Each structure stands twice: as structure tokens, then as C-alpha cells.
Amino acid sequence: MMCIACDFPNLNGRPMPLSLSEEQQTTLALEAVAQERKVQRGRFGNSNDDKPTPYHWVTLLEAYIGRAAIGLMHRMPPPTEEAELRQVPIDDEELRTTIVKVAAIATAWIEAIDRAAKQ
């Protein structure tokens, strides 16, 4: 799974500073979410975001959170040798990409609620 807009760190090719303030860390995270929303909006448009019910939004969020949960589960020591053979661990970059997508989907839902309130 690739997140086109989730380059980490989101510094437009500049090297990552040795230390970031908490505000800078938050800014980098929110920029990644905003970039992913832009990708989603370009791919699907806002009109698709206005159609789903709250149940659809929850299901979509659960699917992406489930991906992260399954990947993290595989980081735990396997209970058996067979389980170890089936492990597909998730690395930090893929985990970050998945969580950025979760945040972007949640943002799309918030935007849809706000648009509906204006009508």
C-alpha cells in the first residue's frame, strides 16, 4: 500500500532536522494528512464524500485501522512456529502511511458533515 502524499518527513526534499519541536512534529503530521486528502479528493471528488452514511464512514475507518492492527499484531512474538511462517510484519513507514490515510478519511467525513450543515 502506497500513500503518494505521505513522504516522511514531509520536508520537500530538505533533510530532517536533528530535533523538531512538538509544534513542528504536529505540523508535519497534519501536512501529510492534508496532502493525502488532496490525493483522495482528486481521485474521488467531494461528491462521493457526501453520499455515504455514517455507517459507511465507520466501516471504512475500521478497515484501515484493522490493517494497522493486523500489522502490529505480527510484531508480537508468534505463539507457534507455524504462526511465525505466516507473519507479515508492518514496518514503521507502512504503519505511518496507514494512519495518515485513517486521519484523511476522518477529515473527509468531517468535511462532508460541514457541507451538509451548510445546505
SS3 assignment for 8-30:
CCCCCCCCCCCCCCHHHHHHHHH
Tens digit of each residue's pLDDT (9 = 90 or more) over 5-42: 444 444 555 555 668 888 988 998 999 999 999 999 99
pTM for the whole structure: 0.73
Mean pLDDT across the chain, nearest whole number? Answer: 82
